[in-house]
Amino acid sequence: MRYTEEQVVAAVETLTMERLHAWVREGWIVPASGETFVTYTEIDVARVRLVCDLTDTLAVGEEAVPVILSLIDQVHGLRSELKRIVAAIEQQPEPVKHAILSRIAERPDD
């Protein structure tokens, strides 16, 4: 589903149009740009809610927000990569899968 700016502001209790525009300018929220207006996805709305929770509920300073968002983005990226690796392992012949999983299960030298 796609949301307009007005729908995003209506959906998130503490959000104002000014805050949304500021966060877009900062790059914290990156909506899709159309020919005449921008739209927001459900993921964008969830990110807006997260920023509101960080700044309003948890009193995180605005200088820390981009750091937190970057870390979250990195975690999501790593999860996507891990899913791709798991899918690739699952497609391997049983002896190869067993060898990979055995190697993963080994404890690294400390």
The mean pLDDT of 62-68, rounded to a whole number, is: 96
Contact 48, 23 (CB under 8 A): yes
Tell me the C-alpha distance between 87 and 83, whole Å.
6
Summary mean pLDDT of the chain: 93
Report long-range pairs for 50-53 (Cβ below 8 Å, ≥24 apart).
Answer: 51/23, 52/12, 52/13, 52/14, 52/15
Q: Which of 88, 69, 83 is nearest to 30 (CA)?
A: 69
pLDDT digits (tens, 9 = 90+) for 22-50: 999 999 999 987 667 889 999 999 999 99
pLDDT for 110: 52
Q: Where are the beta strands (DSSP E) in the chain?
A: 32-33, 38-39
For residue 13 the two structure tokens come to 């209790």
User: What fold, for 1-62?
Assistant: Multidrug-efflux Transporter Regulator; Chain: A; Domain 2 (1.10.1660)
- For 45-49, 95-99, 106-110, which range has the lowest pLDDT when averaged over its residues? 106-110
